[in-house]
Structure 1
């Protein structure tokens, strides 16, 4: 299977994360500071004089979408964001997976592979969403309704490198607007409850409709199929399986390891008689890869929080395809 080398689309005007309207960055509005009181207003960027609002004060850093009036973080507007839609049935582990990925990167657990990598949650609304999601991991609360609020993050792969801005949308079926603007798609499935050909067909049709594609055309939107809750089948996995092999220690995406995990995961799905899923994905999506992860793991050694395992793999695959991190094709050093 080839490395993720899909062509990176020309970056367009950023889509508002709330209404998805595309507006040039300079057309977003500025907002007066609270000190302007009742006279506070929204005004075009071009109306700011020496960086001041019409009242001569420093405005708020965030921007305001002229289409829907929602405040949008400045870093999001200036960062040419990538959009990742995370879909899956209720209880599939999609929300827990996403919360675990964000926590793992933000806590520096990937420093041995990406020295100095950092992650910031952008905007007050995303921070509130992030705090709510953390309960999914810290307290192992599943089946929790988290709403449709996007999670906006700024990921800096290396110190002083240009940040990669990502908007994550988490929903059961993927709303049309999210699918229409997505640059990557993550489908969360769980052992024993994997959607069959009909479920994949519905997802594919939703993507085609949202993106105005021809019926039955093969979709070029990259799809990461994530087999979640690997901890529930640990005892079934052979100790020599690629799923349990030490993670490659590279400063990018290790293709050889990804291919091994892909084939091992597809073998397990075939073992569970989910060939309909495999066939549906292969037929509908031109670019796809399978992953196996656990966001909860085992609470061993007196740990207060679970140890996530390989949850970052799907994100690294997408980042490699976006051109945000290097790709390594050979056998790489590993770390325990």
Structure 2
């Protein structure tokens, strides 16, 4: 299988650099991935986070697209529940106009932050917590593609004087809740295995395909699987570097919030954990793709076969920016 390798970048706040540099480091990584031949580069949206430094993906998408040449650039994703579908369509159709055939618009249902940030983003109104997501996604597709029916009150709105250029539309999910909606509305689908590998099964793509066919959409339904991946020269080093991301996820489950730990600090914490906490840590690590480039590619090929998809996106979070660049460089050397 000829696999397209892509990137989902959460813009981690690396401990190796000042926090203010995190967005610029994402741009630096995107330029490297463009040179290496990665297919797609998406940036994620997070609010009120000590770990991830991108609350406004549309700005970083435009910045990255302006300094890269070939790689597709997009959002993975815009947390649509917070926003007006028209405004999101305007932003991404503008970028599709400026960077033809290179812009993706991925949307998600999750808040990407705390309940407090959801309230602040909705102010002076009340947050709807995703209850209107299906209607928002329907409107967004209509605005982007110019397909709103005549009886829709917004059908006469022109997003741009020439609305021909359009971004690719994608819907994100992690455990199948949005698969049917994505297929029904004609969105491509990105499945975030890195969030919840225990509940991320090939049947989600099957459900999506069934709804796509049932709705009578034309063309190919694109599928992407996004995985957590740490690559290094040796398996031992990769597992060590992965500790930063694994511990962050475990700490989040325990309600703890602190800056990224170094790999050695994680090992110290691990030795102090209870047996049950060590088991939880090991289980999280088992859901990651970790090892040398050959080992990672072997697992990537197995996952692509299991999920019957030809595009894998990697999410790589490390304490050091050098380690993250190194991971993508090693993995990309086999493209």
TM-score of the superposed pair, with normalisation by structure 2: 0.32
Q: Which has the higher contact order (CA 8 A, sep 6+)?
A: 2
TM-score, normalised to structure 1's length?
Answer: 0.32
Q: Larger helix proportion, structure 1 or 2?
A: 2
Larger Rg: 1
